[in-house]
C-alpha cells in the first residue's frame, strides 16, 4: 500500500464479505473505494444479488490535479492518527505531536495510484453499467461535502423514490 500498489483482491474481497455480514449492515451500507478491480466488482455483484440487496454506484469525479493536491497536503499525526491539511499546521491539534506526510500521499506514489486506477478501476464503472446498475456521476472537485451529499441524495430519490433512500 505504501508503494501505491493495490491490496490483493482475495484479501479485500474476504474483508468486505465478512464486514457486510455484521448486523449494522443489515439496513444498508456504503462501500468507499471498493470495488477497485473488475474481479472485485464481479464478486460484489454476486454477493449483492445472492442477498437481494438493491444497489447503486456513485462515481465522484475529481481531476487528477485536484487529487494530487489534496493528498499531498494531507498530514497525519504519528501519535494519535488524526488527519488534517498542511494548512492546519505542523502540530496535531488533538495531542500536540508532529504532523507528517504519509508515505502513500507523496506525489510520486499518488501518481502510481492514479495509474493503477486507470488500469484497474475505470473498467469497474463499465462493468456495473453493463450489469444494469444505476450509476450517478457527480462532479466533486472543489465542492463542499454537504453539497455533494445533497446532490447524491436527490439523484437517488429521483431514481429509486424517496421512500427507498435513507440518509444519516
The answer to whether position 81 is within a domain reads yes
Residues 75 and 125 in one domain: yes
Instruction: With a cut of 50, list the residues of the chain below it in pLDDT.
Output: 168
Domain span holding position 160: 136-168
pLDDT digits (tens, 9 = 90+) for 56-105: 899 999 999 999 988 989 999 999 999 998 888 899 999 999 999 998 89
Residues 114 and 77 in one domain: yes
Size (the chain), residues: 168
pLDDT of amino acid 81? 93
Residues 95 and 113 in one domain: yes
pTM recorded for the entire structure: 0.74
φ, ψ of residue 85 in degrees (nearest 5): -95, 150
* Cβ–Cβ < 8 Å for 57, 159: no
Amino acid at each position: 500500500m505504501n508503494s501505491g500498489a493495490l491490496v490483493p483482491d482475495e484479501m479485500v474481497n474476504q474483508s468486505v464479505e465478512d464486514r457486510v455480514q455484521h448486523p449494522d449492515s443489515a439496513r444498508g451500507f456504503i462501500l468507499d473505494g471498493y470495488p477497485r478491480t473488475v474481479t472485485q466488482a464481479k464478486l460484489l455483484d454476486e454477493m449483492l444479488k445472492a442477498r437481494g440487496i438493491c444497489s447503486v454506484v456513485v462515481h465522484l469525479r475529481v481531476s487528477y490535479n485536484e487529487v494530487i493536491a489534496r493528498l499531498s497536503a494531507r498530514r497525519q499525526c504519528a501519535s494519535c492518527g488524526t488527519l488534517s491539511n498542511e494548512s492546519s499546521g505542523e502540530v496535531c491539534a488533538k495531542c500536540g505531536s508532529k504532523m507528517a506526510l504519509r508515505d502513500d500521499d507523496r506525489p510520486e506514489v499518488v501518481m502510481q495510484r492514479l495509474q493503477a486506477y486507470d488500469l484497474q478501476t475505470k473498467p469497474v464503472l463499465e462493468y456495473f453499467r453493463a450489469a444494469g446498475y444505476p450509476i450517478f456521476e457527480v462532479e466533486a472537485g472543489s465542492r463542499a461535502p454537504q453539497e455533494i451529499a445533497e446532490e447524491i441524495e436527490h439523484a437517488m430519490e429521483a431514481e429509486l423514490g424517496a421512500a427507498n433512500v435513507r440518509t444519516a
